[in-house]
Amino acid sequence: MGAPAGFKLNKPLASILGNGILLWLNLWSFIFQELSALGNDGNLGQWLLLVCGHMGITLQLTLLADLVSLSTWHSHWVYLYFAKLNRLQFGLFSSLSKLFLGKKINLLRHRVDSCEYDVGQLLLGTLLFTILVFLVTTNLVFFVFFAGVRGSVVLISLALWLPVVALSSLPVASLVYRVWNPRFFIVGMQLQTCGDPAGDGTVIE
């Protein structure tokens, strides 16, 4: 894995995490290959492209955004895994800090109380803290990388959805048709009253 951004990774942990990610990516690649083979047998992909070509721009952008989300679904799950792992690690750091400060959480009264710990508990906390310090850098590097990947996917999806929202909210078609064929729209209306020949009332024409 090397040393990305100067951080020295824990090689055994990085190897385990990297192999797990590669296994997940290979599984996702196998699924896409099977779906592609299924679509190529009956020219399904060409038929879908032909149908989408006759649809509106908003529907095409929506389908493209859904395709981006579907094709990057595996990276989203990897990001969620490392997000939960880092939340667990920093939660353990918070608990160990209370151990070293002689504090404990009182769940019944929803407050932090003082507590005296014996030598065995402090020794166990020190060992756990040392292990976490050597592992947290590796997990944090993986989390930052996949958070960047997830952020890029979200930005791409947002760039595809913004024109859809704009075209759906603004009267773009009416404005374009107004410029293209101004005579189609009524410029003004004039009402004129005149007497009814039968004498029953007033006629507006």
pLDDT digits (tens, 9 = 90+) for 104-125: 777 777 777 777 778 888 888 8
Domain assignment present for 198: no
Confirm if 24 and 74 have CB atoms less than 8 A apart: yes
Considering the domain architecture, whether residues 75 and 159 belong to the same structural domain is answered as yes
Considering the domain architecture, whether residues 112 and 164 belong to the same structural domain is answered as yes
Domain assignment present for 72: yes
- What integer pLDDT is reported at residue 134 of this predicted model? 86
**Can you tell me the mean pLDDT for 46-56?**
70
| Amino acid identity for residue 53 in this structure | G
Considering the domain architecture, whether residues 83 and 18 belong to the same structural domain is answered as no
Is the predicted pLDDT of residue 42 greater than 60, yes or no? no
Is the predicted pLDDT of residue 76 greater than 80, yes or no? yes
pLDDT digits (tens, 9 = 90+) for 78-98: 999 999 999 999 888 888 888
- What integer pLDDT is reported at residue 57 of this predicted model? 77
- What integer pLDDT is reported at residue 39 of this predicted model? 60
Considering the domain architecture, whether residues 92 and 26 belong to the same structural domain is answered as no
The total domain count for the chain is 2
How far does CA 190 lie from the centroid of its chain?
Answer: 54
What letter does residue 200 receive in the DSSP assignment?
S
Q: Quick one: which of 41, 35, 26 has its CA closest to 70?
A: 35
* Strand extents, DSSP E, the chain: 103-106, 111-114, 193-195, 202-204
Domain assignment present for 2: no
Domain assignment present for 93: yes
pLDDT digits (tens, 9 = 90+) for 57-67: 778 888 888 88
Query: 20: domain range?
Result: 10-54
Strand partners, 195: 202
Domain assignment present for 205: no
Considering the domain architecture, whether residues 137 and 111 belong to the same structural domain is answered as yes
Is the predicted pLDDT of residue 38 greater than 80, yes or no? no
Confidence of residue 150 (pLDDT cuts 50, 70, 90): very high
The rounded percent of the chain whose pLDDT value lies above 90 is 13
- pTM for the whole structure: 0.70
Of residues 182 and 4, the one with the higher pLDDT is 182
- What integer pLDDT is reported at residue 40 of this predicted model? 61
